[in-house]
């Protein structure tokens, strides 16, 4: 059975051509939860992207910011006939109640390809004031090629073992592989999965009023031995919680385990993860998928806690509180401390300059009214219109 691997937009094997491509880190905050919190975007017609891979199918996914027009682009495999965005019909129908922007939108899916090496070519042809946001690739590969990227495991994968009455019947729009499994409140539910890897993340959908109580837990390598056993030292547990009422957040990282240690008596990299619903949870949550890194992979999950993207509160790592970016405007890239300091210094200088100007204007006004020709005018001094700053990605 083949696997699906995820290749992030920051992967060095992706070739960006043209002057238009620029990276963004956590561009829309917790509104969209792009894969690994990153995007590449272009506003320049003629920008292109190529990626060479071994696999039998490839899907290009990105973020869609407006329902009015698709970001014009074409896609081809091995220099074949180009296809327009959504020519394969993978993009779902967006209703009048859809909230924008939307992430994890499939722009293009290739036909089934013969086994072997292939090259994807993407050409951007956006109109004025349009932006093309690229997020990541999904590639269907043979088992022996899974080290190409992070391996995604859908909630419907037969290797995921469920106990209890999970609700598999009502997935939501644009969840991974169009499915999810709902954990209703007051249920004793678990979902377990065994894998061979060096790190693993769990993604899901949260929505509702969760109050101050935890929602679910993730346990890595649970021991079946007595509590005094040495095997207990390899067991790690995260408890996910988020305070108060939460609007819908899909592709939300519920827990993350990295730098996994080999377990005595098991094969190298062999691990088990168990998700458990908690009886005190006040609202349901949804399990969407696992993503794990193969043994020996040089990839890393983006686990920065300095940006506003919510990854929850953990027993091992405490992240920031849940926030909502209501403007839906792309934020800047990773926080740069020297830049912040420089910005503060410049801000103080500007305030001082403005204060000097105000004092001078007052002095000038008094001088004109006292020494002028008696007409009471301010010699051309008028009112300043408000200066509005519009964010434009550079």
Instruction: Write the pLDDT tens digit of every residue in 263-284.
Output: 998 999 999 999 999 998 999 9
Ranges of CATH 2.60.120.260 domains, the chain: 3-148, 151-293
Hunting for tokens 């917790």 — which residue is that? 30
Question: Looking at residues 342-371, what average pLDDT do you find?
Answer: 55
Of the pLDDT bands very low, low, confident and very high (cuts 50, 70, 90), residue 230 is low
* 46 CA to centre of own chain: 26
Beta carbons within 10 angstroms of residue 285's beta carbon: 27
Least confident span in 92-101, 226-235, 310-319:
310-319
Of the pLDDT bands very low, low, confident and very high (cuts 50, 70, 90), residue 360 is low
Question: Looking at residues 85-104, what average pLDDT do you find?
Answer: 83
Structure tokens at 390: 């519009």
Structure tokens at 229: 């056993």
Whether pLDDT at 322 is above 70: no
For all residues of the chain together, what is the average pLDDT?
79
The pLDDT of residue 95 is: 73
- pTM of the model as a whole: 0.74
For 182, residues 6+ apart whose C-beta sits below 8 A from its C-beta are 166, 167, 168, 170, 284, 285, 286
Least confident span in 40-54, 107-121, 236-250:
236-250
Whether pLDDT at 48 is above 80: yes
Whether pLDDT at 5 is above 90: yes
Whether pLDDT at 300 is above 70: yes
Whether pLDDT at 292 is above 70: yes
Per DSSP bridges, beta strands 83-84 and 22-25 are: unpaired
Question: Is the model more confident about 244 or about 383?
Answer: 244
Least confident span in 114-123, 246-255, 364-373, 375-384:
375-384
CATH tag for 3-148 (out of 2.40.110.10, 2.60.40.10, 2.60.120.260, 3.10.20.30): 2.60.120.260
Q: Which residues face 290 on adjacent strands?
A: 153, 202
The SS3 assignment for 336 reads coil
Spatial CA neighbour of 109 closest among 58, 34, 184: 58
Spatial CA neighbour of 41 closest among 2, 87, 73, 3: 73
The pLDDT of residue 72 is: 93
Q: Is residue 199 packed enough to be buried (19+ CB in 10 Å), middle (13-18) or exposed (0-12)?
A: buried
Of the pLDDT bands very low, low, confident and very high (cuts 50, 70, 90), residue 28 is confident
The pLDDT of residue 26 is: 82
Q: What superfamily would CATH give domain 151-293?
A: Galactose-binding domain-like (2.60.120.260)
Q: Is residue 237 packed enough to be buried (19+ CB in 10 Å), middle (13-18) or exposed (0-12)?
A: middle
Structure tokens at 323: 């926030």
The pLDDT of residue 139 is: 97
Sheet holding 73-77, edge to edge: 15-17, 48-54, 117-124, 73-77, 83-84
Do 308 and 320 touch, CB atoms closer than 8 A?
yes
Q: Rounded distance, CA 285 to CA 203, Å?
A: 11
Q: Using the 8-state DSSP alphabet, how is residue 142 labeled?
A: -
Sheet holding 190-196, edge to edge: 161-163, 190-196, 270-277, 214-220, 236-241
Per DSSP bridges, beta strands 83-84 and 181-183 are: unpaired
Structure tokens at 341: 């300091």
For 354, residues 6+ apart whose C-beta sits below 8 A from its C-beta are none
Of the pLDDT bands very low, low, confident and very high (cuts 50, 70, 90), residue 4 is very high
Structure tokens at 224: 């079946």
Question: Is the model more confident about 262 or about 361?
Answer: 262
The pLDDT of residue 111 is: 96
% of the chain at pLDDT higher than 90: 54
């Amino acid at each position: 059975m083949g696997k699906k691997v995820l290749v992030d937009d920051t992967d060095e094997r992706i070739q960006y051509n043209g002057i238009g491509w620029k990276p963004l880190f956590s561009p829309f905050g917790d509104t969209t939860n792009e894969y690994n919190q990153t995007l590449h975007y272009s506003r320049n017609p003629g920008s292109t992207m190529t990626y060479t891979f071994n696999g039998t199918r490839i899907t290009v996914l990105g973020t869609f910011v407006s329902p009015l027009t698709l970001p014009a682009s074409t896609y081809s495999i091995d220099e074949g006939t180009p296809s327009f965005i959504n020519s394969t019909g993978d993009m779902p129908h967006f209703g009048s109640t859809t909230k924008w922007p939307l992430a994890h939108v499939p722009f293009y899916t290739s036909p089934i390809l013969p086994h072997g090496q292939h090259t994807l070519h993407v050409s951007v042809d956006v109109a004025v004031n349009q932006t093309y946001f690229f997020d990541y690739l999904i590639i269907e590969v043979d088992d022996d090629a899974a080290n190409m990227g992070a391996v995604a495991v859908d909630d419907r994968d037969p290797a995921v073992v469920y106990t209890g009455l999970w609700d598999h019947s009502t997935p939501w729009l644009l969840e991974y592989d169009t499915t999810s499994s709902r954990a209703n409140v007051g249920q004793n539910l678990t979902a377990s999965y065994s894998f061979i890897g060096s790190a693993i993340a769990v993604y899901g959908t949260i929505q509702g009023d969760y109050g101050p109580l935890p929602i679910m837990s993730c346990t890595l390598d649970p021991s079946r031995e007595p509590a005094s056993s040495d095997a207990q030292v390899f067991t790690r547990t995260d408890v996910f919680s988020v305070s108060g009422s939460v609007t819908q957040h899909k592709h939300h990282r519920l827990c993350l385990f990295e730098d996994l240690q080999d377990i005595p008596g098991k094969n190298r990299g062999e691990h088990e993860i168990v998700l458990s619903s908690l009886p005190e949870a006040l609202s349901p949550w949804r399990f969407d998928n696992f993503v794990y890194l193969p043994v020996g992979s040089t990839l890393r999950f983006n686990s920065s806690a300095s940006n506003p993207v919510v990854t929850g509160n953990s027993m091992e790592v405490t992240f920031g509180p849940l926030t909502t970016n209501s403007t839906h405007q792309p934020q800047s890239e990773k926080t740069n401390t020297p830049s912040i300091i420089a910005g503060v210094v410049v801000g103080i200088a500007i305030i001082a300059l403005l204060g000097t100007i105000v004092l001078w204007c007052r002095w000038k006004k008094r001088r004109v009214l006292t020494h002028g020709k008696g007409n009471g005018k301010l010699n051309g001094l008028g009112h300043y219109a408000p200066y509005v700053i519009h964010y434009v990605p550079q």
